[in-house]
Structure 1
């Protein structure tokens, strides 16, 4: 009798243990907008996951689309901290519909790296980053006071979903297209592909190039890094800035969070800039609701680049200034300002016309205003 009771308790114990290990979490992603969301990156706070499954094994779980039974790519986001901050998922959700996902125990399939960022000391302190659509770089201290010096964000075209930064720097021949794109974009003394700087007395007040960098997360679905700058004099105002930039898989645009501190009172006027070319009829989108776009003239056999920027809040003004289009806004002292900026290349065969590019930017703003809603059960 005692042996039977012990056996029953053993079975119950094992059942309880297995049940605890196999606990699943339901995630519902709802798209209430009129736009299909294709391979969008969503972020779920890790505390919400822990609340549903306090014993989740971070090294042994996977995410399944409840309808298709296919695995969903994910990333544990740390934001430069030891503890996990968010669970990132890449999902597609049709307009006016929802998708249900299940988080359960099991070995997840490897996720192909679709984003990457790194400091490039071998190329005069460049900082370069990319995803499966586009690539960019910022210039460092070593480039200052040289013939190559430039201020804004540089754009590298690419026609492959593979990561190309390391290969291009290694070959040191990235101004020629070897089959996957090239760097033909000219930044010069402008804000390039969506940089920001103080705008005082109708003049852009540029900083020096960045001084230090820190990678906070590095793929596979999102890469985030910080760039810090030395204090500079902006028309009598002492200004400092730290820029936190992240790029998501599948996006043409970067998320840019700028934290300004400065010596004056009130708000600091700033400009978001898009470098323009010397042409008589520019293909510009200057929408003060918060959408800036420029479709460049064809650059010989290199193709056509489109650049753009999007804000969630309206701009004070949007103007076609010498050498660049500017979106004028203002930032508060020691309060982050977030906007989005990036580019496209017609020879990537996804966004091939001015209309397609401007529509992409407008839709991007609508997606910001109507984000996917996530519920963890």
Structure 2
């Protein structure tokens, strides 16, 4: 985010337009054109329950403006909004809006460059209050009056019960519940229960520590933290106990925002002495209106593992936990319920975190402990409390379980948000030319080149997976797309980076760093296509040797009884659409270069089995087939997965045209098999193309709750159609659908930032089967939707090359 003026006004205005919140087809036309509308925001609730007080985070860059003022509105109704520093770097970077959505409801907001006269009552608060005007007497601060400050570096004299900081640390609250964090060696997290739904921190502790342990008009302190982490605290896991952040050279608090809808503060722990290290750690705590959740974001200056987050243990409570059979990106929860309130009544405490980050669920003498991974020194999680003493508070264990489950779903199944800015609209052309198509692709590639792509080399860091860079199918996919761009006339730097990145994994003997044949992962084959390109281009023996290692894997790779490659050793007897793309174009090209084509039939046979086993009467393909029909996602009779996942079919469509390009013309029988499949698939793709020009995550369920238009599959389908036309495999009549698809991708997913960066949005981050991924409709909707993921960006770049080539004929 570039630096810009922080002086903004929160604005809310009126727009007169008719909104049909249930008709998907009319959404792009819902907001009437207006000179001061900078962006239109389409929202959809993916849950079958209402989501009230839902906070919509709108990055200013996606809105296409960094200028003040901004406002948010829905028809003639004002929508509460606030400008927020979302990453805590001191710069405003988001506009947030608070909305209520019924189950499965759709909504359209307008963002305007216009001030508002709306006055919002504060529903959140963050504060740190210290005494001024007194004096330190050893470890006590005597005299003085409490004054709120925006920043505080705890003085060396400060410790527990020093009477210097009001209620002993920073506090944060919504209109539901409040919390405080001890700014001393205890680093415990405590709860302020509320007897009325109003902000209360400003009333707490004004007359000393004892007062807030007794019932007041606002409520009271309801948790005994003691030696525990308390309500969702963090520390280091020693294997048998948690070490709190006790030994740090400094502790500093900064109030980041104190607004009506969002408040947050940061604690910077300087030189935390732990695990024989001195680690600087920043913890950011954020709350929003109408929510019990605190979002905790930890960032250390170096990795420190394992971190632990936890809940204090108490007698007369039950421990609650979500099903462990969740996907890595799904939010799991743990909690406690029972008479653990200092008021003697029921209190529920919960933690929510991504399942894939937890390595163990355990306990020590004082805490229920979730042991967490933090490979890059970062960790995000949430905590919450629900007190039975609240007005209409949760009274039962089942009620608290339901709360945890719904909050976990809201975090996992994010609100569908699509932003259409006036700035991004400048990229759209009714009649794209070969030059304009390639220009958008090159600008997008340049954004990726500068921000992430260079880190994918051996020894670098893969930001998408938050781990050291490895020999990955995605790296090979991006480098192939970069190479395609340069060969089509774009900057040679993209092709140079592709060679440098792939070469970084290969030594002179042809060994591939981080590659392991014995795991028999067909995904690992895909990057081998760049090895074959580089060998043809340079003649360097190391590329041929490395490609030979991958070919040897395929020679020994396990197969189903009818001859289809298993997707992975850990996915036995399973054929996935993804794997056809990962392995068969490489196998065909390798065979063409080094085997006189003897493996062409083996490559084509994979398509034959896929067509036989995965086809539906509609002509669509199912994602996967389990020959043994024993996986939880598989039909017990057919072994088929349940749904038509568009990206799975996208991989397959790309594989068809790529292998047809490789097969020589004299391979008539083999080409005829694939030609027929491509012809039939093209008809089906056009049949299920949305009027927007693009395709849905689940191809044939456009009206299902939560289903969304998806960028990677749409890019793959357009690539297959365009390349099919270029190779003479599909008739020119498909050019209409192909161009509708391209224009739809640019309109629905491509965004332009004020600084010139170009992004691809609306990408399903990942989808697979097994290991918590049950293949249900809910599963396919639950995976994160992200921007600039290689699995979407690379196919878009490759599609753009094919379209540019087609338009230049």
User: Normalised by the size of structure 2, how large is the TM-score?
Assistant: 0.40
Partner of 1:162: 198
1:285 paired with 2:320, answer yes
User: Aligned pair in 2 of structure 1 residues 303, 180: CA closer, same or farther (>3 Å)?
Assistant: farther
1:218 paired with 2:258, answer yes
DSSP-derived class of the 1:201 partner: coil
User: Aligned pair in 2 of structure 1 residues 350, 42: CA closer, same or farther (>3 Å)?
Assistant: farther
Bigger shift: residues 95-104 or 124-133: 95-104
Q: CA deviation at 1:82?
A: 5.7
User: Which of 275, 282, 292 pairs up with 2:312?
Assistant: 275
CA separation in 1, counterparts of 2:38 and 2:124? 29
Bigger shift: residues 236-245 or 91-100: 236-245
CA separation in 1, counterparts of 2:116 and 2:343? 47
Alpha-carbon contact 2:240-2:364 (below 8 Å) kept: no
Gap runs ≥5 in structure 1: 1-18, 145-149
User: Aligned pair in 2 of structure 1 residues 118, 300: CA closer, same or farther (>3 Å)?
Assistant: closer
Q: CA deviation at 1:246?
A: 0.7
User: Which of 46, 52, 62 pairs up with 1:48?
Assistant: 62
User: Which of 74, 77, 97 pairs up with 1:89?
Assistant: 97
Partner of 1:352: 395
User: Aligned pair in 2 of structure 1 residues 376, 201: CA closer, same or farther (>3 Å)?
Assistant: closer
User: Which of 223, 230, 245 pairs up with 1:192?
Assistant: 230
Q: Structure 1, residues 12-60: CA drift from partner, whole Å, max 9, x if none?
A: xxxxxxx976446432111223332111111001122235xx8x641xx
Q: Structure 1, residues 82-109: CA drift from partner, whole Å, max 9, x if none?
A: 6430010101112222111223435331
Higher helix fraction: Structure 1 or Structure 2? 2
Name the structure, 1 or 2, with higher relative contact order (CA <8 Å, separation 6+): 1
CA separation in 2, counterparts of 1:299 and 1:369? 29
1:203 paired with 2:211, answer no
DSSP-derived class of the 1:185 partner: coil
DSSP-derived class of the 1:112 partner: coil
DSSP-derived class of the 1:364 partner: helix
User: Aligned pair in 2 of structure 1 residues 230, 47: CA closer, same or farther (>3 Å)?
Assistant: closer
Q: Structure 1, residues 259-293: CA drift from partner, whole Å, max 9, x if none?
A: 1345xxx76012111012134xx311134452110
User: Which of 293, 311, 324 pairs up with 2:353?
Assistant: 311
DSSP-derived class of the 1:205 partner: strand
Q: CA deviation at 1:340?
A: 0.4
Alpha-carbon contact 1:310-1:340 (below 8 Å) kept: yes
Q: CA deviation at 1:236?
A: 3.3
Partner of 1:332: 375
User: Which of 233, 254, 258 pairs up with 2:298?
Assistant: 258
CA separation in 1, counterparts of 2:42 and 2:393? 30
Partner of 1:102: 110
Q: CA deviation at 1:161?
A: 2.4
CA separation in 2, counterparts of 1:138 and 1:88? 26
CA separation in 1, counterparts of 2:92 and 2:286? 17
Say which one has the larger Rg: 2
User: Normalised by the size of structure 1, how large is the TM-score?
Assistant: 0.82
Partner of 1:26: 40
Higher strand fraction: Structure 1 or Structure 2? 1
Q: CA deviation at 1:350?
A: 3.3
Partner of 1:295: 337
CA separation in 1, counterparts of 2:40 and 2:281? 41
Partner of 2:385: 343
DSSP-derived class of the 2:220 partner: coil
Q: CA deviation at 1:301?
A: 4.8
1:78 paired with 2:85, answer yes
CA separation in 1, counterparts of 2:299 and 2:176? 27
CA separation in 1, counterparts of 2:190 and 2:340? 18
Q: RMSD in angstroms over aligned alpha carbons? A: 2.5
Alpha-carbon contact 1:41-1:88 (below 8 Å) kept: yes
CA separation in 1, counterparts of 2:341 and 2:253? 32
User: Aligned pair in 2 of structure 1 residues 203, 299: CA closer, same or farther (>3 Å)?
Assistant: closer
1:65 paired with 2:69, answer no
Q: CA deviation at 1:117?
A: 0.9
Alpha-carbon contact 2:37-2:110 (below 8 Å) kept: no
Alpha-carbon contact 2:296-2:380 (below 8 Å) kept: yes
Alpha-carbon contact 2:223-2:342 (below 8 Å) kept: no
Partner of 1:6: none
CA separation in 2, counterparts of 1:347 and 1:73? 29
CA separation in 2, counterparts of 1:89 and 1:138? 28
1:113 paired with 2:143, answer no
Q: Structure 1, residues 216-248: CA drift from partner, whole Å, max 9, x if none?
A: 111111112110113344343444321111111
CA separation in 2, counterparts of 1:151 and 1:77? 27
Alignment of structure 1 residues 134-145 onto 2, 5 Å: 134-141=177-184, 144=185
Q: Structure 1, residues 136-161: CA drift from partner, whole Å, max 9, x if none?
A: 111124xx5xxxxx432111111322
CA separation in 1, counterparts of 2:414 and 2:172? 25
DSSP-derived class of the 2:399 partner: helix
User: Aligned pair in 2 of structure 1 residues 278, 82: CA closer, same or farther (>3 Å)?
Assistant: closer
Bigger shift: residues 231-240 or 323-332: 231-240
Alpha-carbon contact 2:272-2:281 (below 8 Å) kept: no
Partner of 2:498: none
Q: Structure 1, residues 150-193: CA drift from partner, whole Å, max 9, x if none?
A: 43211111132221111123244211112321013111111110
CA separation in 1, counterparts of 2:61 and 2:275? 45
Alpha-carbon contact 1:62-1:71 (below 8 Å) kept: no
1:375 paired with 2:421, answer no
Q: Provide the aligned length of Structure 1 versus Structure 2.
A: 339
User: Aligned pair in 2 of structure 1 residues 299, 192: CA closer, same or farther (>3 Å)?
Assistant: closer
Alpha-carbon contact 2:223-2:341 (below 8 Å) kept: no
CA separation in 2, counterparts of 1:46 and 1:235? 40
Partner of 2:50: 36
Alpha-carbon contact 1:193-1:273 (below 8 Å) kept: yes
Alpha-carbon contact 1:151-1:189 (below 8 Å) kept: no
Bigger shift: residues 69-78 or 314-323: 314-323
Partner of 1:3: none
